[in-house]
Amino acid sequence: MNKIAFVAIASLAIAACGTQGNGATGVKALQDSTIKIHDEIMPQIAHFDRDAVKIDSILANLKNLKIAKADLDTNLTRKELGTLKANLESATDHMMDWMKGYNPDSTDVKYFETELQKVSDMKKIFDSVSKESQDKLKNF
């Protein structure tokens, strides 16, 4: 009887350790994936900041640009560049807010699944804004 109880308890202990190990491994894998995506998009903030400064410069010099390019629609350009600058700032703010709320010390798999989804969605936004910026600023 003692041997059966010992085997049962040992089996439960081994199973519990195995579950914790897989949970910890799962958390680590999700955390690593989350940080990998973060690290891919974080450097884009510097580009977004430079593009915002470029937009400010373009908008400040629209009269001179109109002289150089008579066919330039300054109203449309002002509107498009204003929207682009807002999108650049929004993406950057989104990243900063996410980083403030991120808890790397969590051990909850669900938390990291949610954070991985958030950062994946943010990557899509960053990629979209980056493309928009390249397209709109290439002629300036």
Could you read off the pLDDT of 11-20 as tens digits, one per residue?
333 333 333 4
Split at pLDDT 50, 70, 90, the class of 3 is: very low
Q: How is the chain split into domains, by residue range?
A: 22-138
Q: What distance in Å separates the CA atoms of residue 8 and residue 3, rounded to the nearest whole number?
A: 8
The verdict on pTM exceeding 0.85 is no
User: Is residue 140 predicted with pLDDT exceeding 60?
Assistant: yes
Q: Which residues contact 27 (CB under 8 A, 6 or more apart)?
A: 106, 107, 108, 109, 112
User: Is residue 31 predicted with pLDDT exceeding 50?
Assistant: yes
Is 31:104 a contact under the CB 8 Å cutoff?
yes
Q: What distance in Å separates the CA atoms of residue 61 and residue 3, rounded to the nearest whole number?
A: 87
